[in-house]
Structure 1
Amino acid sequence: MAEFINFVSVIILLISLFFVIVNGEFENYCTKDSDCESYCPNPKYGKCLDNKCICQLIWMGYG
C-alpha cells in the first residue's frame, strides 16, 4: 500500500511540474531585478515583484 501511495505522489508531482513548465512559471521566476534581464525585451525595465518578472516601460511610484 505504501508503494502505491508513493507512486501516486510521484505522478501528481510530475503532472504539477508539467503544468508549471507549460505555463512558463520557471521562466519568469525571480528573486531580484537582475534575474529579469533575460526575460524582458529591454532589461532596463524588468522588475522582480512577488518573485515574478514584470516588464514595464514606465515605473511610476516604484521604489
Structure 2
Amino acid sequence: KLAALTPPQGYPNAPRYYSPERLEIIYKRHKLDRLLDPRIPAIYRYNFPEDLRAKIRAYAKEHNIKE
C-alpha cells in the first residue's frame, strides 16, 4: 500500500508529472490551485521573489534573451 501512496520514482518528496490534458481535467474539477498552477512558468507565479525576478529580467535584457 505504501507504493501506491508514493510517486512512481519511489521518493516521497519527488515531483509528480502530469500531461497537459490531465492538468486541464484536474483544473476544471477545481482540484488544482490556480495560484500554484504548474502550467504557469515559475517566474510569473505570485510567490516568486521580486528581487530574483528583477535579476533574471536584467540578465535577459543584457544578453538579448527573449521570453
TM-score scaled by structure 2? 0.25
The structure where strand makes up a greater share of residues is: 1
Higher relative contact order (CA 8 A, sep 6+): 1
TM-score scaled by structure 1? 0.26
Give the number of the structure whose alpha-carbon radius of gyration is greater.
1
